[in-house]
């Protein structure tokens, strides 16, 4: 049976390609650098590390002062550890950062949007949009570019972000990197602990991406790579890579939550395909420029 091939990257090459993309965008727009939201998670940490390295190199050669600024913007539903991790990342990278609680801004919306306080999903998305407003305003007042931190699997694979929230950015540096590659880069930069953290959007109490989705980003990558390589839905359902990982994710979900998220592998694959259509629709509304990177595919030895 044919195998779905997963991509490989040269870490240093990709770091250089993304860094050049960000620097060139800043120069073209005559900006003073970049702003991004630091959550303490793997995506924002990796994005910050790549941009900081690129700015340092460019500033040394050209005697300029492109600057990266990290804004840590928690609300009361965020774990204090996330804030502390964000601070540790900023201090390790040597970037200017500020911490501002969003809670006063969130609570102020009870006068205009009382309905969202009845539903944690709506409230979470509102928080994301408030955070985006703060970040984009900071970028505007500092003449900087607002950098996104979304990866390929989440943003462009299944659309797992808030429209006009964390998706409302000027550029998407890691938008062509799978979650798997983002983790590899985080470890490469010395953030191994963050690379192993359970992904969370931080918009609902005790929320995790795995709990929301019911499957891992490795499964998302595998299914969407299969589609891009010409596999039909039906052929995916009989592919050993897909079925093995689906069973593994299903068992992990049951062990964590003591219930089933999906009734079958078919429903898991269909959920990804449904979400992918949503992602495509979202991208037609907001589609920030994405850094083009070199990706290679090595054919499986099992073929």
Binned at pLDDT 50, 70 and 90, residue 24 comes out as very high
Strands (E), the chain: 7-8, 33-37, 67-72, 96-99, 145-146, 296-297
Q: What are phi and psi of 129, to 5 degrees?
A: -70, -35
Residue 65 has pLDDT above 50, yes or no: yes
pLDDT digits 0-9 by tens, 122-167: 999 999 999 999 999 999 999 999 999 999 999 999 999 999 999 9
Residue 302 has pLDDT above 50, yes or no: no
pLDDT digits 0-9 by tens, 216-262: 999 999 999 999 999 999 999 999 999 999 999 999 999 999 999 99
Give the C-alpha separation, 7 to 298, whole Å. Answer: 7
Residue 1 has pLDDT above 60, yes or no: no
Kindly report which listed range (27-36, 56-65, 162-171, 196-205) carries the lowest average pLDDT score: 196-205
Average pLDDT along the chain: 95
Higher-confidence residue: 300 or 2? 2
DSSP β-ladder status, 33-37 and 67-72: parallel
pLDDT digits 0-9 by tens, 264-277: 999 999 999 999 99
What lies within 8 Å, CB to CB, of 2 at 6+ separation is: 303
List of domains in the chain: 7-202+279-297 (3.40.50.620)
Give the C-alpha separation, 36 to 284, whole Å. Answer: 23
pLDDT digits 0-9 by tens, 207-217: 899 999 999 99
Q: What is the pLDDT of residue 301?
A: 45
Residue in the block written with tokens 């490469």: 188
Give the C-alpha separation, 135 to 146, whole Å. Answer: 7
Residue 204 has pLDDT above 50, yes or no: yes
The answer to whether 176 and 153 have CB atoms below 8 angstroms apart is no
Rounded average pLDDT over 179-205: 93
What lies within 8 Å, CB to CB, of 99 at 6+ separation is: 72, 73, 74, 83, 86, 87
Binned at pLDDT 50, 70 and 90, residue 79 comes out as confident
Q: What is the pLDDT of residue 303?
A: 47
């Amino acid at each position: 049976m044919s195998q779905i091939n997963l991509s490989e990257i040269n870490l240093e090459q990709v770091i250089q390609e993304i860094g050049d993309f960000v620097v060139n965008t800043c120069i073209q727009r005559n900006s003073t650098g970049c702003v991004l939201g630091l959550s303490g998670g793997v995506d924002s940490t990796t994005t910050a590390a790549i941009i900081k390295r690129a700015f340092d190199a460019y500033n040394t050669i050209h005697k300029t002062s492109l600057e990266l600024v990290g804004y840590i913007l928690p609300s009361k539903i965020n774990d204090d550890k996330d804030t502390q991790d964000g601070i540790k990342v900023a201090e390790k990278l040597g970037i200017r950062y500020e911490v501002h609680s969003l809670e006063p801004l969130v609570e102020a919306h009870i006068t205009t949007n009382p309905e969202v306080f009845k539903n944690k999903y709506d409230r979470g998305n509102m928080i994301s949009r408030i955070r985006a407003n703060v970040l984009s305003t900071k970028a505007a007042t500092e003449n900087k570019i607002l950098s996104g931190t979304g990866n390929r699997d989440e943003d462009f694979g299944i659309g797992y972000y808030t429209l006009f929230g964390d998706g409302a950015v000027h550029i998407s540096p890691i938008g062509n990197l799978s979650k798997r590659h983002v983790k590899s880069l985080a470890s490469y930069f010395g953030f191994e602990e963050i690379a192993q953290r359970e992904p969370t959007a931080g918009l609902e109490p005790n929320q995790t991406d795995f709990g929301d989705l019911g499957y891992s980003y490795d499964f998302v990558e595998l299914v969407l790579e299969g589609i891009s390589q010409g596999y039909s839905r039906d052929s995916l359902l009989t592919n050993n890579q897909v079925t093995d990982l689906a069973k593994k994710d299903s068992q992990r979900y049951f062990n964590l939550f003591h219930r089933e998220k999906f009734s079958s592998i078919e429903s898991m694959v269909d959920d990804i395909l449904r979400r992918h259509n949503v992602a495509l629709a979202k991208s037609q509304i907001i589609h920030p420029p994405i850094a083009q990177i070199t990706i290679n595919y090595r054919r499986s030895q099992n073929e």
